[in-house]
């Protein structure tokens, strides 16, 4: 039955059916072919929506949306220019530093690519950046957001793998910084080769010290989230609610740019993103139930371990599979689909599930700027008003550094285990 389900899922994807609907269609097709009632799907759809930790997703999305809707983006760009604008390709470096800081607020690569792309790509084009390179910087650097807490993909992985979300958040900090630094170096090397200009902040720190102080409350949100979780003050769900309250206070009392229009837009954005994620979660739960009932994860683990003799070979094979899947599925769907399968396989070879989670998120985030489905790739190309082929060609240095970071995370457990 699982084979029929998978073929049905792939067929629906091939004709451009949305991922969540394709998952449900594949399961329904398998049940019909086996002569079993479709009513069994209903209970499996309902069950995952009753998870208490699942509430963290809409609240973290809401907190990020509130922070990004006001003047925080302007302050963020100016802080980044103050820090790295003096280097070659300064505005490109600003995009990367901005993603590192923005990621701790939004937790979403798509939100990061949209907000920073609209702010920075037009400026980069005015300074002489090739359109493809400007889009390449934005589409690749925005994926740092999926590693810096609070990270929506890490929450999803924690839910499907029964791994502590707190451990995943803490473990994601170093890989996120590594990815940011490696992209910083890539931009600097390309900027030197193309002689791109510096972009220091006019007036330096004296001209901006007031804005630095006013931006600090928003930049403290990641520290607030990690500190509260690390010291056991609250659960991830409780922290997500506290993050919304914190965002409301900062936007309303410090930035003073919170109004009913901003609040309504944040609620609409949260509802739309949560609805899309929940549909995928519900559909993947049905697929996981069917796969588990037929012992597919266990059989896969036995087959792979008998085919590959060494654990490092299995890890390499897992990475190759995730790279391929990530190029065709959105990150949340890929995490929910592959997570339960690979957790069982990781147990067979002694791979820590936290390390696997970071491997998976880094790996699948590369798919966000890889054709044919790359979400941040298409967003950035649209903002830069250029073709996908020119962006992909400019992405080559970023693919190389991202793969280098992925290999280090895959084979050096100390980078992800604390």
The whole-number pLDDT of residue 325 equals 86
Residue 258: strand, helix, or coil: coil
The whole-number pLDDT of residue 396 equals 94
The whole-number pLDDT of residue 411 equals 94
Show the domain range for 190: 39-415
15 Cβ neighbours under 8 A, 6+ residues apart: none
Is residue 294 within 8 A of residue 108, CB to CB? The reply is: no
The whole-number pLDDT of residue 353 equals 93
The whole-number pLDDT of residue 394 equals 92
The whole-number pLDDT of residue 292 equals 72
The whole-number pLDDT of residue 60 equals 82
Peptide bond before residue 150 is cis, with ω within 30 degrees of 0: yes
The DSSP-derived string for 63-105 is HHHHHHTSTHHHHHHHHHHHHHTTSTTHHHHHHHHHHHHHHHH
Cα–Cα distance measured from residue 140 to residue 362, given in angstroms and rounded to the nearest whole number: 11
Task: Provide the CA 113 distance to its chain's centre, in angstroms.
Answer: 11
Q: Residue 344 corresponds to which tokens in the numbers above?
A: 């069982």
Is residue 330 within 8 A of residue 134, CB to CB? The reply is: no
Q: Is residue 228 part of a domain?
A: yes
Q: Is residue 91 part of a domain?
A: yes
Q: Residue 224 corresponds to which tokens in the numbers above?
A: 């607030």
Is residue 409 within 8 A of residue 355, CB to CB? The reply is: yes
The Cβ of residue 12 has, within 10 Å, a number of other Cβ atoms equal to 19
Q: Is residue 27 part of a domain?
A: no
Residue 406: strand, helix, or coil: helix
Cα–Cα distance measured from residue 388 to residue 193, given in angstroms and rounded to the nearest whole number: 22
pTM for the whole thing? 0.84
The whole-number pLDDT of residue 122 equals 87
Q: Is residue 14 part of a domain?
A: no
Q: Is residue 368 part of a domain?
A: yes
The whole-number pLDDT of residue 157 equals 92
DSSP letter at 330? -
Q: Is residue 191 part of a domain?
A: yes
The whole-number pLDDT of residue 106 equals 64
Domain count, the chain: 1
Q: Is residue 102 part of a domain?
A: yes
Q: Is residue 4 part of a domain?
A: no
Cα–Cα distance measured from residue 337 to residue 177, given in angstroms and rounded to the nearest whole number: 27
Residue 296 region by backbone torsions, left for phi larger than 0, else alpha for psi between -120 and 50, else beta = alpha
Is residue 338 within 8 A of residue 361, CB to CB? The reply is: no
Cα–Cα distance measured from residue 401 to residue 411, given in angstroms and rounded to the nearest whole number: 16
Per-residue pLDDT of the chain (418 residues; tens, 9 = 90+): 667 777 777 787 777 677 777 877 777 777 777 666 666 677 677 776 777 777 888 888 888 778 776 666 677 777 777 777 778 888 888 888 888 877 666 667 777 788 788 878 888 888 888 999 999 999 999 888 888 887 888 988 998 888 888 889 889 989 999 999 999 999 999 998 888 877 776 665 666 666 666 667 767 777 777 788 777 788 888 888 888 888 888 888 877 878 888 889 888 888 887 887 788 777 777 777 777 777 766 677 777 777 777 889 999 999 998 998 888 888 888 888 888 889 988 888 889 999 999 999 999 999 999 987 788 888 899 999 888 888 999 999 999 999 999 999 999 998 887 6
Cα–Cα distance measured from residue 41 to residue 79, given in angstroms and rounded to the nearest whole number: 50
Residue 275: strand, helix, or coil: helix
The whole-number pLDDT of residue 391 equals 92
Is residue 355 within 8 A of residue 413, CB to CB? The reply is: yes
Cα–Cα distance measured from residue 24 to residue 148, given in angstroms and rounded to the nearest whole number: 31
């Amino acid at each position: 039955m699982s084979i029929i389900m998978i073929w049905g899922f792939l067929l629906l994807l091939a004709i451009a059916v949305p991922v969540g609907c394709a998952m449900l269609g594949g399961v329904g097709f398998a049940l019909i072919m086996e002569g079993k009632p479709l009513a069994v799907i209903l209970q499996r759809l309902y069950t995952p929506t009753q998870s208490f930790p699942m509430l963290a997703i809409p609240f973290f999305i809401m907190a990020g949306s509130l922070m990004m809707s006001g003047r925080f983006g302007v302050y963020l760009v100016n802080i980044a220019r103050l820090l790295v604008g003096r280097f070659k390709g300064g505005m490109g470096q600003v995009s990367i530093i901005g993603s590192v800081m923005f990621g701790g607020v939004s937790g979403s690569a798509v939100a990061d690519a949209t907000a920073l792309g609209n702010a920075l790509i037009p400026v980069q084009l005015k300074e002489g950046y090739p359109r493809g390179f400007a889009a390449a910087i934005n589409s690749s650097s925005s994926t740092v957001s999926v590693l810096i807490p609070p990270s929506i993909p890490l929450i999803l992985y924690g839910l499907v793998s029964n791994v502590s979300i707190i451990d995943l958040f803490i473990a994601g900090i170093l890989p996120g910084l590594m990815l940011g630094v490696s992209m910083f170096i890539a931009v600097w090397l390309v900027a030197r080769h193309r002689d791109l200009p510096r972009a220091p902040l006019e007036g330096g720190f004296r001209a901006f010290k007031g804005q630095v102080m006013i931006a600090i409350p928003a930049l403290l949100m990641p520290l607030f989230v990690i500190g509260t979780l690390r010291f056991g003050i609250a659960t991830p769900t409780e922290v997500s609610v506290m993050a919304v309250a914190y965002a409301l206070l900062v936007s309303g009392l410090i930035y003073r740019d919170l109004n009913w229009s901003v609040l309504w837009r944040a609620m609409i954005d949260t509802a739309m993103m949560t609805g899309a994620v929940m549909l995928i979660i519900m559909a993947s739960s049905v697929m996981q139930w069917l796969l588990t009932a037929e012992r597919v994860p266990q059989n896969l683990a036995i087959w792979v371990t008998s085919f590959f003799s060494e654990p490092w070979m299995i890890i390499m094979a897992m990475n190759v599979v995730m790279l391929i899947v990530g190029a065709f599925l959105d990150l949340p769907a890929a995490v929910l689909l592959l997570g339960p399968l690979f957790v069982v396989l990781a147990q067979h070879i002694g791979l820590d599930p936290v390390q696997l989670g970071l491997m998976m998120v880094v790996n699948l985030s590369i798919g966000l700027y890889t054709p044919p489905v790359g979400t941040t790739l298409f967003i950035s190309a649209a903002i830069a008003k250029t073709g996908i082929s020119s962006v992909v060609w400019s992405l080559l240095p970023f693919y190389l550094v991202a793969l280098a970071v992925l290999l280090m995370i895959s084979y050096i457990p100390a980078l992800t285990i604390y």
